[in-house]
Amino acid sequence: MVNVVVVGSQWGDEGKGKIVDWLSERADVVVRFQGGHNAGHTLVIDGVTFKLSVLPSGVVRKNTVGVIGNGVVIDPHALISEIDRLVKQGVGVSPENLKIADNATLILSVHGNLDALREDTSARGTKIGTTRRGIGPAYEDKVGRRAIRVMDLANPDTLPAKVDRLLSHHNALLRGFGREEIDPSVILDELASVAAQILPYRETVWRYLDDKRRAGKRILFEGAQGTLLDVDHGTYPFVTSSNTVAGQAAAGSGLGPNALHYVLGITKAYTTRVGEGPFPTEQENEIGQFLGEKGHEFGTVTGRKRRCGWFDAVLVRQAVSINGITGIALTKLDVLDGLEEIKICVGYRLDGEVIDYFPASQGQQARVEPIYETMEGWKDTTAGARSWNELPAQAVKYVRHVEELIGAPVALLSTSPERDDTILVHDPFQD
């Protein structure tokens, strides 16, 4: 059986929710392998809308198991709230269909407080644009080897020493901000209040997934954010705090990389990003406004308005290489309907030289200037198309040129938010 990894190939918000929903119907297990509740997917199933932020999309399907891998940082209160919300929508969530890695890191209230303090006190021009949900500080504790993990909830006798170690670091930071220190009892009470609700879901996930793989089950790995927000390969420091690329599916789940067979890169037919940082093809004009309004470009979790611009083939080609993308799902093609002309970035000028990649240096990223090709737009609509024959000739030409420029074929083409408005070229789960 083929296992599939879904990753964003831009700055996130590429429309992964619809594609993951479409694929999860074919999967036996759906795994979240990185990130936290700072990113979200919107799924529409039988007319019912589900907004997920940390839960894997498989949870909402009757015959699919959702898994939260060790690469995810979990806010237990947000998780419990999300579970409760799904239950009210008629979704049965139980230890039978939700597994949480026992070695996953927990996000605590102190993490959110520090996240907000850092953003509020950052000098002008140095704000990262975080969601202030404690994701970064939680990952810092993980690599600093002082994190509280899911498994620790089952061992209350050892928690006081671990909390003391954690707070010896964080209270020093709070003193530096001129804020009151946190008493260990606050964190211990916080953990005690969620233990009974979280522990029933804990699982030795690496072993569970290995058993499913050996049994020939189809596993879908879903990532959050996008390649350009990867902490190593993105627009650092304006990135998230985890690795968002396909390789993290193995590290963040405990399943070996030889079990990752097909990498599907979700790619928007134009480009958007949320928050601070470089954006070479951004259009702060009527084109950007057109794309934002027609594409309803607001964040699922935060509601923040997204910055909009032309498709950047250089960035996506780079993402194809870094992730080992097998094929792409091109989304929101219909947003381009009605434009007289459409531009595609095919290279950059940097200090007078032409380059064909996005440099890692923050200073160079800020100085690159896009080189555009201009294509004729189309007047006819692509919205709702479910076959190539229903697409205007210029739209087909645009898609084919995108394939050529990024070096990856289109496996799926999305022409509206509706799940059935999808042109299937190649099923990623096909053997």
**Which amino acid is residue 152, in one-letter code?**
D
Residue entry with tokens 């350009």: 228
Q: Could you tell me whether strands 271-273 and 307-309 are parallel, antiparallel, or unpaired per DSSP bridges?
A: antiparallel
Partners of 266 in the β-ladder? 8, 329
Q: What is the Cα–Cα distance from 252 to 23, expressed in whole angstroms?
A: 20
Burial of 24 (0-12, 13-18, 19+ CB in 10 A): buried
CB 16 within 8 A of CB 43: no
Q: Which residues contact 362 (CB under 8 A, 6 or more apart)?
A: 235, 236, 237, 278
Tokens describing residue 47: 């007319």
Q: What is the Cα–Cα distance from 96 to 66, expressed in whole angstroms?
A: 9
C-alpha of 312 from chain center: 19
Q: Which residues contact 331 (CB under 8 A, 6 or more apart)?
A: 14, 15, 18, 19, 266, 267, 268, 269, 414
The angle formed by the CA atoms of residues 29, 331 and 300, to the nearest 5 degrees, is 70
Known catalytic residue at 261: no
**Which amino acid is residue 11, in one-letter code?**
W
| Buried residues in 349-365 as b, exposed as e (16+ CB within 10 A) | ebeeeeeeebeeeeeeb
Q: What is the Cα–Cα distance from 144 to 138, expressed in whole angstroms?
A: 10
CB 170 within 8 A of CB 114: yes
SS3 assignment, position 160 = helix
Tokens describing residue 219: 């596993």
Catalytic residue among 21, 28, 37, 41: 41
Q: What interhelical angle do 184-198 and 76-88 show, nearest 10? A: 30
Catalytic residue among 13, 152, 230, 334: 13
Tally Cβ neighbours within 10 Å of residue 394: 17
Cα diameter, the chain: 68
Known catalytic residue at 421: no
Catalytic positions: 13, 41
